[in-house]
Amino acid sequence: MAAAPSMAAAIAASMPTPQSAPTPAAPSYEAIPASMSKAIDIEADISLTSVQLDGLVVSKIIKHSREAQGANAHGLLLGLDLDGTLEVSNSFPLPHHFNEDDDKSIKGVAKYQASMLRSLKEVQADDSVVGFYQATTLGSFFSQALVETQAIHQDRLRHGGVVVVHDISQTARGNASFRAFRLTKAFLDAYKRNNFSTDSLIEHRLTFSSIVEEIPLRIRTNALMSSFIETLSSSSPSPLADGSPSTASSTAALPPSYSVLNLGGSGVTRNLEQIVEALDAYKTEEGNLGYLQRQIAREKARAETYVNKRKEENATRVAQGLAPLPEENVSRMFKIPPEPSRLESMLLLGRIGAYGKSLEETSSAGLVKMYAAKAGTAVSKTLGTTPPAEHRLEWRAKVT
């Protein structure tokens, strides 16, 4: 029975395949203006240097990430590559699949994707897939599913496409985090060969830090969105003529945020928990690899012992004037397992590195806030304005 196709393969099957265009006639000035001849990259000769996200795409990704459960939010990016810049003008989310082996769920996602692309084409909107986005927490986005999907995109799309990673934990602290990545050529070559043995990693000089390369990303907003954000953040007079002074002005939809006053202790605790879990998973993976390596060494030793014994027997038979025994296929007699892949170990190391960087950023900011809170407590005591007892206990607990 054939195994169910993976989610990345189903998504790739529903993507528009690059069709070979008929041989064009001699170019005319009416078809391609001279002013645009250098910007229009028909043969994909201009290398990709940057990614540009429209404000609409940013708001869609943030909205989808908030509504989805955890880091399950992912979807496709639509746009155009122009003069070395990948301009992402639209996006749409993909439904989350809970079971990778559920054939109906995978086909449903592929059908939904094809229907969305067809609908966008009917209304003359951008329907060219240029990559996908993935929500993540604490900066860690390395996974088998992301690598598999990105590898298919880089094989099917003109410029290889990109994956835009949105960090939910950073956005919750008021810093919208968007980063663009693509797989390196060395990693993609090893992935196509499906060879992540020790020799292959040495040959391609691969480590967890060379799996992906980051592409500069910038966000573009139009005047309409800027005006809308300004109306949300500015005060407006109350329509009530006899309103009280407290209701004379309202700050509309955006409430005041006190997240900057949070010392960030809970975030550090969660980050440490994620690091411990990733280290445990890496230790387990290394234990499995060590067991397989020992099994391979035992089988190789048995095969070498058999070969040496057969050589000694043949030498003895030749010395006695007898015909040597025929050579046998050792690979059929001894089932030597192939060298295990170290891809999962590399991904786990990348996950640990991402958690470590996130911990460094969170703890450094939290440490500054703790010192500021401690200094504020000292100043209040000097001025004789001692805070209430419950506040003193809370500050002392957070500082210590």
DSSP for residue 144: H
The residue from 179, 204, 224 where one domain ends is 224
Q: 280 pLDDT exceeds 90?
A: yes
> How remote is the C-alpha of 26 from its chain's centroid?
43
Q: Do 106 and 192 belong together in one domain?
A: yes
The mean predicted confidence, pLDDT, of the chain is: 76
Q: Is residue 180 part of a domain?
A: yes
Q: Do 271 and 378 belong together in one domain?
A: yes
Q: Do 91 and 157 belong together in one domain?
A: yes
Q: Do 214 and 341 belong together in one domain?
A: no
Q: What is the pTM of this model?
A: 0.69
DSSP for residue 263: -
The residue from 203, 224, 245 where one domain ends is 224
Q: Do 217 and 271 belong together in one domain?
A: no
Q: How far apart are CA 65 and CA 67, in angstroms?
A: 6
Counting the structural domains of the chain, the total is 2
Alpha-carbon dihedral of residues 240, 224, 174, 182, nearest 10 degrees? 160
Q: Is residue 157 part of a domain?
A: yes
The confidence score (pLDDT) of residue 8 equals 64
In CATH, what number is assigned to the domain containing residue 174?
3.40.140.10
Beta bridge partners of 90: 78
The confidence score (pLDDT) of residue 164 equals 93
Q: Do 76 and 201 belong together in one domain?
A: yes
Q: Do 195 and 269 belong together in one domain?
A: no
Q: How far apart are CA 5 and CA 12, in angstroms?
A: 11
The domain of 57 spans 45-224
Q: Are strands 74-82 and 85-93 parallel, antiparallel or unpaired?
A: antiparallel
The confidence score (pLDDT) of residue 134 equals 92
The residue from 175, 208, 224 where one domain ends is 224
Q: Do 282 and 211 belong together in one domain?
A: no
Residues 68-104 pLDDT 10s:
866 678 899 999 888 788 899 999 998 876 555 566 7
Q: CB–CB of 148/5 below 8 Å?
A: no
Q: Is residue 11 part of a domain?
A: no
Residues 155-214 pLDDT 10s:
888 767 899 999 888 877 777 889 999 999 999 999 988 888 888 888 888 888 889 999
> How remote is the C-alpha of 158 from its chain's centroid?
20
Residues 310-361 pLDDT 10s:
888 888 888 888 888 887 777 777 778 788 888 999 999 999 988 888 888 7
Q: 64 pLDDT exceeds 70?
A: yes
Q: Do 166 and 273 belong together in one domain?
A: no
Q: Do 185 and 292 belong together in one domain?
A: no
Q: Do 94 and 155 belong together in one domain?
A: yes
**What are residue 273's phi and psi, to 5 degrees?**
-65, -40
Q: Is residue 147 part of a domain?
A: yes
Q: Do 198 and 269 belong together in one domain?
A: no
DSSP for residue 257: -
Q: Is residue 329 part of a domain?
A: no
Q: Is residue 149 part of a domain?
A: yes
